[in-house]
Amino acid sequence: MRFLLLAVAVLAVIYMVFIESKRSPSGDDRPEAIYQREVEKAQNLDKVMQDAVDRHGEEMDGTK
């Protein structure tokens, strides 16, 4: 009986580990994933804004 309980406990732990491993990569509700997406959006926005400023500066230099 003790071995049966031990086997059930081991199988339950293995099952929980596999379920968590399947949820983690696709679970975009995690705070770390949300934070990383927002940081990437901010960095992309910064690049777009810098390109616009550079282009405007080139246009201003071209008109002088």
Sign of the Cα torsion 43, 45, 49, 51 reads positive
Cβ–Cβ under 8 Å, residues 64 and 57: no
Cβ–Cβ under 8 Å, residues 13 and 7: no
> So what's the pLDDT on residue 21?
65
Give the position of tokens 């399947």: 22
Q: How many CA atoms are closer than 13 Å to the CA of 42, on its beta-carbon side?
A: 6
> So what's the pLDDT on residue 5?
87
Model pTM above 0.85: no
> So what's the pLDDT on residue 24?
54
> So what's the pLDDT on residue 60?
85
**pLDDT tens track for 18-63:** 876 665 555 567 888 889 988 999 889 888 899 889 888 888 888 7
Question: Which pairs with CB-CB distance under 8 Å and at least 24 residues apart come from 22-31?
Answer: none
